[in-house]
Amino acid sequence: MLETLQEVAVYFILALVCGIGAWLLKTKKEQLLKTIADLCQKAEEAVQGSGLGAEKKAKVIAYLEAAGVSVTDTVSNLIDEVVEKLNKKSGWLVSSATSTATAAVKTE
């Protein structure tokens, strides 16, 4: 009976450790995605113009490396995913600000 309780306790602790590990990984990924999205916006503001995606991505990578983030293929793919989502949803702050300014000028 004592051995069974010990086994249950060990499995419970292992499950708890796995759950905490999964939560930490999810939280870290969410923070990284937010940071990448913010850096993509900054790169978009710093390098204006279309067809300059490689230069903008290089800026994002430089920002990340300066912050101590090791840019692996996974991180590079996350950058591409963020840019793709922003492009699909027209989520660029610069383009929103530009269209708002253009609309304001046209109404005057």
pLDDT in tens, 85-96: 888 877 666 555
68: alpha, beta or left? (left if phi > 0; alpha if psi -120 to 50): left
Assessment of whether the complete model's pTM goes beyond 0.85: no
What does the domain layout of the chain look like in residue ranges?
A: 34-102
Reported residue count of the chain is 108
| pLDDT, tens digit (0-9, with 9 covering 90-100), for 66-82 | 988 888 998 999 899 88
pLDDT at position 27: 94
| Mean pLDDT score, 10-22 | 96
- Report the C-alpha gap between 44 and 49 in whole angstroms: 8
pLDDT at position 45: 83
Distance, CA of 67 to chain centre? 14
Q: How many CB atoms lie within 10 A of CB 56?
A: 21
Residue 82 and residue 37 in contact, taking contact as beta carbons nearer than 8 Å? yes
pLDDT at position 18: 97
